[in-house]
Structure 1
């Protein structure tokens, strides 16, 4: 899949989740293990240094500005020094954390929690843990964005439930774009053409013959190739894309369900409701109500 398609799919999948973030300060000897969870998470080192600890590789030194991203919520750890992941204590809630002053290191912790459904195949296809050192020369907009996000975490007034996810989205967009540029996947041109058409018009009544014709492949060859590239058969991918768009619209807008159904390719809200319930285990109306409740005033 092309880098643009990966970025688009990754961000679309992430935004279904409930965004949260907090600031952490540590001094002296410290270390935390973050268990696996359903969703995507990140850490941004805003001051000082730390070590990233994972199960699959050696500890990685992190400097101020570095970002750690777990696309599918994989277990990992942060520590003042290289350590074994199993030797680190489980992370605790923000209100239970020590907040020393002065601190040796400060970092932001954020997550998109999935209360319903599963992490998408697009996110699961990425490495368990991604570490990025922002290239401020190539992306000068990152520095003021990161400063704004750090300052915004201290705010608790009206509107933070809306602006905070928007800032997280922007930050991850820039960082993932940089990571994809530095770690390009081979471009599968026929499948990339199909994905572009699906993303541009998810409401179109696509059929496998339609999509295989766009790819210029036989139906059998197309289905096999599409499944290899995306991790899903064409029809399952299309359904997942439509329902992810519906979930995002339910979370971010007050658009009526009937209009959302038409916008994502379902003839009636009843049809969308049945498909949505199968995918996320919850009715669309209840999903929207829980999203509004978690966003706060």
Structure 2
């Protein structure tokens, strides 16, 4: 069978590898056009394009899939299978009718967390597990029938970057299982329960702003769930400070949230937060290097009892 693969991010790579290992022919890789990156704003291709070229695969960077160029190219290939993994664009209905099988690799337990940020929101919401779903590519976003699911426990200290890496590995295993079902003629879909649908909306820079009036547990989840972007941050005066490593801690008393409770020799700082305290280990002031929290506090001559933010 002939596969057309759609993908644009690091998460896509394991799924592409699964396609190459499936025994089917990957006749085309479709990715998004290069984007300007870095201080020089140089155009950089996606990691998927680089991987496709490494494997000697034909690759296209269609600006729009609704274009006649894209439509003619895909129709001419007569694909049997579409595989989409973190492509970032909607595949239009007129193209979805081309293949016999349409596989959307989604890093959540669908119908939970449809949408743009399915890896971040389970951490932000304090979920104990997530997973990978292989679903039909439908006209409505992430609403297709479920072909296969596998679960993954979220470690309490795991951040979104680490979780994405693990789910990418899991996605390759899930795709391999689905390809085997196709080989045996046993692939069947189950309709999603619309009553259980939740959405993982796209993150914004403003999502990263924390208040020490929030619970220490919520702040810690934001640090992990918003890594690497937008990151969790607060303002010390006009200075934007990223929180990189912190954990909830016990504290006595009723100090105002944001108050420095202690500065430890090993480098951490205990800060009063809503309903408890937050032990901050590492942070990064804007435009400066990563530092221990104690170095930040001491460098700004903050004393125990004074307010950080």
Q: Taking structure 1 as the reference length, what is the TM-score of the superposition?
A: 0.25
Give the structure with the higher percent helix.
Answer: 1
